[in-house]
Amino acid sequence: MIAPLTTSLRITNGIWSDYAAMAVRTGGPGAGGLSMMLVPLKGAPGVTMRRLKVAGQISAGTTFIELDDVKVPLENLIGTEGQGMRYVMACRHPYPASSKSSTGY
């Protein structure tokens, strides 16, 4: 499986990133069609990166990244195919877990 990616996004610290973990559609509609993949950025065919000039947060390295039919090999799959939404949601809200442990609950 090679997942072709075409999209654009803005990401903090992207200008210094060689790779990015992304939830990508590898299957049908809905959450079951998403997988997590490690997507190459710097020097990869089809990837265009440019730093954005933002007010105040200059050191954040906010970057506009455009993916135009980027090919990502199967070896870059993170975890199990179709489990991308589960991985995203598991990392989405780390604070409740850490706040519970810090308060003894």
- Cα gap 74→76, rounded to integer Å: 5
User: pLDDT at position 2, please?
Assistant: 52
**% pLDDT > 70, the chain:** 81
pLDDT digits (tens, 9 = 90+) for 42-82: 899 999 998 888 877 777 888 888 888 888 888 999 999 99
pLDDT digits (tens, 9 = 90+) for 87-100: 888 876 655 555 44
Q: CA of 76: how far to CAs of 84, 87, 97, 99, in Å? A: 13, 15, 29, 33
**Closest of 67, 70, 73 to residue 2, by C-alpha:** 73
Mean pLDDT, all residues of the chain: 80
pTM: 0.72
CATH for the stretch 3-103? 2.40.110.10
Q: Hey, where are the domains in the chain?
A: 3-103
